[in-house]
Amino acid sequence: MIPLLFPVKVFSLFAQNNNAHFMHGVASGDPTDDAVILWTRITTEFSGICNVEWQIANDEAFKNIVNKGFVTTSQDRDYTVKIDATNLESNQVYFYRFIYNETTSDIGVCKTLPDSLLKPLQIAVVSCNNYEDGYFTSFRHIADNKAIDYVFHLGDYIYEYGTGQYANKAFLEESNRLNDPLHELISLADYRKRYALYRKDKELQKAHRTKSFICIWDDHELANNAYFGGAKNHQSNEGNWTDRSAAAVQAYFEWMPVRAKSTSEMIRSIKIGKEANFFFLEERLDGRDKQLLSSDPEKFNSQRKMISKKQFDHLSDELKNSDARWNFLVNQVMFTGYKSKKIETVKEEDWWTGYPYQREQLIEVFESLKNPPIILTGDHHQSHVLELNAPDSANNKRIAWEFLTPSITSKNDDRLTSEQIAKKSKLLYKLNPHMIYNDIAAHGYFILKVSKKQINISYKFNSDILLRDGGERQGPDFTIDNLNNLKKNV
């Protein structure tokens, strides 16, 4: 055992450490088969450089410390701490902690990636946790589920709006769960405060403390309907978009347990043996052009793009050359699309369907693959299972599936009556033969279970996000077998 340089207080993994230096908890993320990112933040009135010790061990008692070191932090990085702990073994659970000013953080648990699927891998797929729309109890359910290995967060981890601008007003009045700052996020200080608020949430802290997250951002970490040159929710009186987006990205890299240090590094992949490849896309700042309505003829211009040509070519090559049985696109916005009205004008210009030329190019890539890829999508706040068929195919050749995870709390059709929900859901099925399932009002997430011969998607719904102790109910369960057949399990 490596001796400690000074005495520390040891805390159980599942006991909340309330010392004032670690108010935002601990987190881990971006695991590889031999490394993982460890994160915390130091809360201090000291204005200089803080020296922080970190430790990672095989056991919760830290009798077998496998790696340790010191790191400094300061106001320049908002007193956040991020360590890339290396020289680890694959598919192993580790315990970690931080020590500052003779106090210790909560003990976190992380897990490195396997190098092959000797047993099924289970991943909670989540997105869209809006602080002013409800309680984050689904994160507690994820933390308490020992079968879950990792969490994929598909974006909208925070929301940039001022208080009440995008919220459940009745919930706000009853809970007094208000944004900080109260105004819309513009500056670096604003974005930092909003992350600090979210990371004080005990449910979210528990999920980060017990599971390793692999994250991508979407638009609200920046501003609503963001694209390379601006955003729908960025106005000329709010300063320069380049400055605002740079501030948002800096705060993200400070507060999130990601290895990336630039937008291009957020485009990454995970390969697990010959069983599974996960391709994480970046669909906001890498090259997306401004959203256009369907009435704009420029929408169909061959030069318009959702992602840069470099990212597209890389994804295309990786998919075509992949030897994995299962290929997953970890994706921010809906690819397949669907109709919601009998006379459709435009559903959402922010989807892949708003970039038809590049979408059709990617569909051509899908058509060339031996096995249909599986698209894991956030953003939409609703639960949908969609089958993507080749265009102009006489036999409706299936070329991909898309599974949309519901929001943790962000608004969907949960404000409608049960009768209105049932009527709308029925219409969606009628208008969209490729829609296998929909739930337009539930909140929660799904668990992706990957094995060599099949994958399983199991939806988990929150019983009531307006209750602090809201429970969890089982949603539908789907299986794709080794012959690429999808069935809904009873």
Greater model confidence, 345 or 439:
439
| pLDDT band at residue 340 using 50, 70 and 90 as cut-offs | confident
Nearest 5°: phi and psi at 300?
Answer: -95, 10
**Closest to 214 in 3D by CA, of 272, 266, 143:** 266
Checking if the pLDDT of 394 tops 90, the result is no
Which of 60, 87, 111 finishes a domain? 111
My answer on whether 107 and 192 are in the same domain is: no
Are 122 and 149 spatial neighbours (Cβ–Cβ below 8 Å)?
yes
CA distance linking residue 13 with residue 10, whole number of Å: 9
* Structural domain contains residue 107: yes
Residue 387 pLDDT greater than 50, yes or no: yes
Q: Is residue 42 part of a domain?
A: yes
Number of continuous H segments (helices) and E segments (strands) in the chain: 8, 24
Mean pLDDT, residues 456-463 taken together: 98
Is the separation of the CB atoms in 183 and 145 below 8 Å? no
pLDDT of 42 reads 98
pLDDT score of 16 = 44
Residues 94 and 162 in one domain: no
Residue 15 has pLDDT above 50, yes or no: no
* pLDDT given for residue 342 in this prediction: 59
**CB contact at 8 A, 54 and 69:** yes
User: Is it the case that residue 358 has pLDDT exceeding 90?
Assistant: yes
100 contacts: CB under 8 Å, gap ≥ 6 = 21, 22, 42, 44, 50, 51, 52, 53
Task: Say if CB 346 and CB 296 are below 8 A apart.
Answer: no
Co-location of 57 and 180 in the same domain: no
How confident is the model over 398-419, as pLDDT tens digits? 999 999 999 999 999 999 999 9
Tell me the whole-structure pTM to 2 decimals: 0.95
- pLDDT on residue 393: 64
Same domain, 260 and 143: yes
Residue 8 above 90 pLDDT?
no
pLDDT on residue 225: 97
Looking at residue 55, which CATH number applies to its domain? 2.60.40.380
pLDDT at 344 over 60: no
Residue 312 placed within a domain: yes
Same-domain status, 192 and 326: yes
- Residues of the chain with pLDDT > 90, as a percent, come to 90
pLDDT at 9: 39
- Is residue 53 scored above 90 in pLDDT? yes
Q: For residue 490, is pLDDT > 80?
A: no
Are 134 and 78 found together in one domain? no
Segment 335-343 mean pLDDT: 83
In sequence order, what DSSP letters do the residues of 197-256 get, joined into one string? HHTT-HHHHHHHHHSEEEE---STTT-TTEETTEETT--GGG--HHHHHHHHHHHHHHHS
Owning domain of residue 47: 25-111
The verdict on 50 and 128 lying in the same domain is: no
Query: Is residue 141 predicted with pLDDT exceeding 70?
Result: yes
What is residue 397's predicted lDDT score, i.e. its pLDDT? 87
Q: Is residue 159 part of a domain?
A: yes
pLDDT at residue 7 tops 70: no
- The CB-side HSE value for 50 (13 A sphere, CA atoms) comes to 27
Q: Tell me if residue 16 falls in helix, strand or coil.
A: coil
Domain edge (last residue) among 57, 87, 111: 111
Separation of CA 149 from chain center:
15
255 pLDDT more than 70:
yes
85, 201: one domain:
no
* Contact yes or no for 380/446 (Cβ under 8 A): no
What does the pLDDT read at residue 345?
Answer: 47
pLDDT at 428: 96
Do 100 and 131 lie in one domain? The reply is no
- Long-range CB pairs of 298-304 (<8 Å, 24+ gap) are 299/349, 299/354, 299/356, 300/356, 300/357, 301/357, 302/357, 304/355, 304/357, 304/358
Look up tokens 């689904």; give the residue.
Answer: 138
| Residues near 2 by beta carbon (within 8 Å), at least 6 away in sequence | 65, 68
17 within some domain: no
Closest CA to 243 of 320, 191, 199: 191
Distance (Å, rounded) from C-alpha 407 to C-alpha 417? 19
Q: Is residue 40 part of a domain?
A: yes
- Give the pLDDT band (50/70/90) at residue 234: very high
| Phi and psi torsions of 360, nearest 5° | -65, -35
Mean pLDDT of the chain, nearest integer: 94
Q: Does 212 share its domain with 130? A: yes
pLDDT attached to residue 273: 93
Hey, what amino acid is at 437?
A: Y
pLDDT, residue 10, reads 39
For the four alpha carbons of 379, 383, 385 and 390, in that order, the dihedral sign comes to: negative
pLDDT band at 74 (very low <50, low <70, confident <90, very high): very high
Q: What is the mean pLDDT of residues 179-187?
A: 98
d(CA 7, CA 3): 10
Cα gap 188→360, rounded to integer Å: 38
- The vertex-191 CA angle with 159 and 129, nearest 5°, equals 25
Identify whether residues 409 and 320 lie together within a single domain.
yes
Mean pLDDT of all residues in 89-102: 97
Which residue, of 50, 80, 111, is where some domain finishes?
111
Check which CATH number belongs to the domain holding 267 and give it: 3.60.21.70
- On whether both 166 and 58 belong to a single domain, the answer is no
Q: How many domains does the chain have?
A: 2
Q: What angle do helix axes 356-367 and 309-321 make, rounded to 10 degrees?
A: 10
The structure tokens listed for 102 are 């003779």
Contact 66, 88 (CB under 8 A): yes
The model's pLDDT over 104-137, given as tens digits with 9 standing for 90+, comes to: 999 999 999 999 998 999 999 999 999 999 999 9
Q: For residue 260, which phi and psi values (nearest 5 degrees)?
A: -60, 145
Q: For residue 5, is it within any domain?
A: no
Residue 76 lies in a domain: yes
pLDDT of 392 higher than 90: no
Amino acid identity of residue 208, one-letter, is H
List, in sequence order, the alpha helices (H) in 368-460. 418-431
Considering the chain, what percentage of its residues have pLDDT values greater than 70? 94
Report, as an integer, the average pLDDT of 237-259.
98
pLDDT band at residue 1 using 50, 70 and 90 as cut-offs: very low
